[in-house]
Structure 1
């Protein structure tokens, strides 16, 4: 009985020891971490081309219908540039060429477009996708304008869009709105007559 246990324990112990040495090496840990990250990204963005095509059409309608934003758009002027993974959420980037930069700064343009997005979702919805994300406790609009970037030398406006379809996206959205509200409160100027 002892020899049978010894025959089973020695190879098993050797394998565990080799695995311990293998995973203790920092280069192997990095390789495993990168491999796991790529697999998570592939799973998160498997529907990215499908969602991006509908978001591109929706963003075109939003910019076209907004009279405040001075961005001339045509049917082919909003181009899908790719996606990025931020805090386990897929952010889609759309680029539109412009002759002159809009008069509105990036932060205010984001707010204007977000308000237009909410109005568009409430009244017309979004073709091919859900217009709201509904959780057990929350209902939020499914499209969020995360960031807007100007490139004056390339004459481009880049719009980063989050499509909320998972609980991780909802968490990202809630944190982004909270940070935006805190930033807005911190930047408010108080005058003497208001005190």
Structure 2
């Protein structure tokens, strides 16, 4: 799969982020920073920039043509006016099927994912046409995908739930989560 990651920080970065994990899984990954670039050859677009930089970063990318897009951004200071979630904002710009994923995982732990006794969960919400790709990329990054619903409701739940995840980390540091039935423990 051809993946273009917009953002070279801890989440998307080629050095230790999702780009590195997907390259190791056999995908072709191109990373762009906030200065933009061309995404015309991408099957999937990953948006991994600060929420306040979404419009500016995507505005500098050419070749956005309705590809599946995965929003990894977190809300720290509010959402753009008129959008129920960051994912809806991104979808309005890219025009393609969109998912919200990799936003409840701590990027500082990406290098440890494959060494866990049980695969951590990756909570995600998605448009139907983005679901299969998001599940595959979750598995390829060493996580078990956990679908929380359609984008319109699920993205907002994930964004609002991030405060809970950060509260837990405030006491014990960055951590993994696992959501499974009894057979998975």
Considering fraction of residues, name the structure with more helix.
1
Give the TM bin, normalised by the shorter chain.
under 0.3
Q: State the TM-score, normalizing by the size of structure 1.
A: 0.24
Larger radius of gyration: 1
Q: State the TM-score, normalizing by the size of structure 2.
A: 0.25
